[in-house]
Amino acid sequence: MAPLVYLCVRPQVDAADGEYSSFLAATQLDRAGLERWDLAREPLPADAFDRWRGFVVGGSPFNTTEPDSAKTDPQRQIEAALGRVARAAADGETAAMFTCFGIGVATRALGGDVTRGYPEDTGPTGIRLTDEGRRDPLFGALAGTFTALTAHKEGTARLPEGAVLLATNEDCPVQAYRIGDRMYATQFHPEPTGVAFTQRMAIYRNDGYFEANDYDRVAARVLAADLEEPVKLLHRFAQTF
């Protein structure tokens, strides 16, 4: 059976290394079962949909709402590749789980809108499943309300056509959606432990997600959060697909 693959979209190698480790732990796969491909440095291979049976996509310091003129060549390459994966998953040709930055790219590629109007602070936030979420094969395994980690500057303003809203909250109403039965996207991070997230915070300390001098305060909130539910989503994804 073909493996799954983690698509790295972070230019910072140390952050990408930590994120890959988090995805390995959350899916409960080894490196043979969840391979890694660095889209920040290599284009998506032509045989991607034959080589891998499904894709998981993490976060990035990039923002899809940046003007095209301000985007770097690596960001354009990443967005084009993720758009290809999103369209294939929406058409049922593969399985994909887009998270954080990934949801923005997927939303735009599939005809939805992304805005700077729904940012969320770095740290734990409450997530609530919709009725559709409670019935969903993946999300239905989670508690109806749970805590997850966020750190983003943009969010989905309008869902793509055919998307089913699975999870929400007050600050960022689109926390997760599904298209068809093989394409999933979450605004929150389902993969990290509190420790892993604080390590990532240290790398992006000066990138505007939080005040640099507030690191200790924010990290304490992260480490105190109960994060048992979100990782179940990735384990379920790996089992299902």
Give ∠ CA 93-162-237 in degrees, rounded to 5: 50
Helices then strands, counting H and E runs in the chain, come out as 8, 11
At 1, the pLDDT band (50, 70, 90 cuts) reads confident
CA distance 23 to 170: 27
129 contacts 144 by C-beta, under 8 angstroms: yes
| Mean pLDDT, residues 33-40 | 97
Mean of all residue pLDDT scores within the chain: 97
Bridge partners (DSSP) of residue 123 are: 150
Average pLDDT (40-66) is 96
Mind listing the pLDDT tens digit for each residue in 99-117? Answer: 999 999 999 999 999 999 9
Q: What is the mean pLDDT of residues 203-228?
A: 95
Domains of the chain (ranges; CATH) run: 4-240 (3.40.50.880)
Structure confidence at residue 208 as a pLDDT band (50, 70, 90): confident
Instruction: Give tens-digit pLDDT for 122-179.
Output: 999 999 999 999 999 999 999 999 999 999 999 999 999 999 999 999 999 999 999 9
**Over residues 216-222, mean pLDDT:** 97
| pTM for the full predicted model | 0.96
Question: Distance from CA of residue 93 to its chain's centroid?
Answer: 20
At residue 227, the 3 state secondary structure works out as coil
